[in-house]
Amino acid sequence: MKYLKIHKLLWFIIVVAFTLLEGAVIVLYYIIFLIWNFRYPKDLWAGFHSAEHDYENHWGGYSYKDKNILETIIRRYKCTWS
């Protein structure tokens, strides 16, 4: 299976599915926050997907801040194979 590079395709599908599921939860949180506080939350995705300190970091030993869902998918996929 490794010779056909199918494992990378399967991993990409898993990463995208997990990130979309996580995105659905964040959209639900966004709607609840909007209804409860009557204002838009600022940088909601970056608040959930950032590591400002080294002890929070689990992806390759560097601090990161994902601004959107595409950056999260790329980081999770690339840091696995590097």
Give residue-wise pLDDT tens across range 50-82.
877 666 666 566 777 889 999 999 988 887 765
Give residue-wise pLDDT tens across range 1-43.
567 778 888 999 999 999 999 999 999 999 999 999 999 888 8
- In three-state secondary structure terms, 50 is strand
User: Domain residue spans in the chain?
Assistant: 2-76
pLDDT of amino acid 41: 86
Q: Is 53 exposed, middle or buried (0-12, 13-18, 19+ CB in 10 A)?
A: exposed
| pLDDT beyond 90 at 47 | no
pTM: 0.77
